[in-house]
Amino acid sequence: MSHRDQTLVTVATYNEMDNLPRLVDEIHGALPDAHILVVDDNSPDGTGRWCDARAADDPRLHCLHREGKLGLGTAIVAAMRWAVEHGYRCMLNMDADFSHHPRYLRDLVAGMDPDGGPAVDVMIGSRYVPGGRVEGWPLHRRLMSRAVNLYARCLLGLKPKDCSGAYRCYRVETLARVDFDAIRSRGYSFQEEILWHLGRAGARMGETPITFADRQHGSSKINSAEAFGAIWIIFLLGLRKLRGR
């Protein structure tokens, strides 16, 4: 099956019943023709069951179920494989918790083919370009995010200002050039790692400003083991880059 002119919006979920029903409506408010793929890791709060029931009434909604919580990075890889297999034009990924507001969806899609400019392969919803902002984060979280971005940009030579956010639109034919089996990240460093692989595949990257809002409903899935794991993986990728591999 091919959806060559269509956009797929992908949302990984783990216990997002407080957010997903409203998010699905708002995504379709912004992009009525888009398909939505939810990748749910057997959420105990029933997010996956809700999604199946809703998908039975709406052919634009799809749900991929995994047996347990396997990490955000692997959920996005599963969504990328699905987008490639089904032949969508663009894949737009966002978090479920409204940190990534659907009001920016159209800017991200429009940025893929800018008027008079070259086409873009990855459009990033960016907190760190002029006009971008973070709302509701305490100072230590702002500093951590800035530090991780600086670290990844220096070590991996990434050009975008915001390399750690998940709110992005990818050209699916460019994703198809990435060897997903080579991706090491299970959790947070996935965002930097996929940019690194795409950069090596010759992808052009752009950024459009967003205001990132802290989660209002539901609970955080972040943990310090994942955060340290992410720093370690970026370091290993940096070593590979130094060795020219």
Ligand X SMILES: Nc1nc2c(ncn2[C@@H]2O[C@H](COP(=O)(O)OP(=O)(O)OP(=O)(O)O)[C@@H](O)[C@H]2O)c(=O)[nH]1
CB of 95 to ligand X, least distance (A): 4
CB of 51 to ligand X, least distance (A): 11
75 makes contact with ligand X (CB under 6 A): yes
Handedness of CA 111, 113, 116, 117 (dihedral sign): positive
Residue 41 in contact with residue 68, Cβ under 8 Å?
yes
3-state SS, 133-153, equals EEECCCHHHHHHHHHHHHHHH
* Rounded CA separation 209/41 (Å): 30
Of these partners, Mg ion, ligand X, none, which one is at the site of residue 192 (CB under 5 to 8 Å by kind)?
none
Does an H or E element contain 90, and which?
strand 88-94
Instruction: Scan residues 185-244 and list those touching Mg ion (CB under 5 A).
Output: 215
168 makes contact with Mg ion (CB under 5 A): no
122 makes contact with ligand X (CB under 6 A): no
Q: From the list 15, 99, 126, 191, which residue makes contact with Mg ion (rule: CB under 5 A)?
A: 99
Q: From the list 119, 143, 222, 239, which residue makes contact with ligand X (rule: CB under 6 A)?
A: 222
What tokens does 119 get? 């086409």
DSSP conformation letters of 23-78 = HHHHHHHH-TT-EEEEEE---TTSHHHHHHHHHTT-TTEEEEE-SS---HHHHHHH
How many residues make contact with ligand X (CB under 6 A)?
Answer: 20
Of these partners, ligand X, Mg ion, none, which one is at the site of residue 123 (CB under 5 to 8 Å by kind)?
none
Using CB under 5 A, list all residues that contact Mg ion. 95, 97, 99, 215
Q: Which residues bind ligand X (CB under 6 A)?
A: 12-14, 16, 39-41, 69-72, 75, 95-97, 99, 215, 220-222
